[in-house]
Structure 1
């Protein structure tokens, strides 16, 4: 697996919007709704990042896209709620890319970015039925917290926090590096696009 620190800009944002649309449809199905046949039918609450991801994820935020065998594999966004708090948004891995470590790689890249822009914690919310995602978050060091947004207090969401100022990723051992090299040779995803959007106005 190779991770490009980027940014390699997905200039037309097609992959970003496709991944966000897939995320919203998957979320709708998980809560018992039919989803949407076209992005034009998305409700207003979905459009804040789908319609203009370059603005929503503007620096110091970012949206990272992973590629597997030359195809988009998954993505995750981050934006800052305040100078010290980075919120993880829309982590999603397409079905063909699951089981390859894509989600973990995306989160690792996101954490590095959050540290680089000065955040001392990451927060996220998650549907409680996403047990696989929750297991990943906990393995990465996230711990449950009370709702950190007003809307999460009224929604069936679980909230988590990772303290970046006290938690550091483990250093790779020689065996880990060897396994990583083998994984790359076997076709693990690489980061083909890192979209940091337009710089926010001062």
Structure 2
């Protein structure tokens, strides 16, 4: 059984570790699940909005200014997160996703710990994120890690904005 001690977080692309299929399969699952939860399910990635298909087809370009972190168990990519470059002392966490087969094993916590450390190393003073209101488990995890709900910077309905000091 995998637990957080067996989870290794690496920056993608990694020259030191095999990252399986990289972030593309994880980003695909993230976007398909999100669209379904929003009430707009699509059959496959080809039906996703252009901006999401761009992330899946070429994550290196889509996140060129950001850092993509992968959680690995041996050579299996179990989860991912994107951390934006700090601007005005603030970085943002995006696309946190754990493959459902690996949930409950500390993958998301390991990714968030690595994201926070990366943001601090890059000089961020604050890190923020947005999460859909129905993702109560994710919100509870963020709150346990010291995030608090803040005024929204995004007008999308049912989106919860959170932040914390790094």
Please, what TM-score do these two structures have when normalized by structure 1? Answer: 0.70
Unaligned segments of structure 2, at least 5 residues? none
Q: Which runs of 4+ in 1 moved over 4 A?
A: 4-7, 9-13
Residue equivalent to 2:136: 131
* Count of aligned positions: 159
Q: Give the structure, 1 or 2, with the largest relative contact order (CA under 8 Å, sep 6 or more).
A: 1
Contact 1:123–1:162, Cα closer than 8 Å, also in 2: yes
> CA-atom RMSD, angstroms?
2.4
Please, what TM-score do these two structures have when normalized by structure 2? Answer: 0.84
Change (3 A) 1:4 1:138: closer
Cα distance in 2, alignment partners of residues 124 and 157 from structure 1: 10
Contact 1:64–1:77, Cα closer than 8 Å, also in 2: yes
- Of 4, 22, 26, which residue of structure 1 is paired with 2:29? 22
Which of the two has higher C-alpha Rg?
Answer: 1
Cα distance in 1, alignment partners of residues 20 and 89 from structure 2: 27
By how many angstroms is 1:77 displaced? Answer: 0.6
Cα distance in 1, alignment partners of residues 78 and 19 from structure 2: 17
Unaligned segments of structure 1, at least 5 residues? 165-202
- Of 37, 47, 72, which residue of structure 1 is paired with 2:53? 47
By how many angstroms is 1:108 displaced? Answer: 0.2
Residue equivalent to 2:162: 160
Describe how 1:45-194 pairs up with structure 2 within 5 A.
45-59=51-65, 61-80=66-85, 82-148=87-153, 152-164=154-166
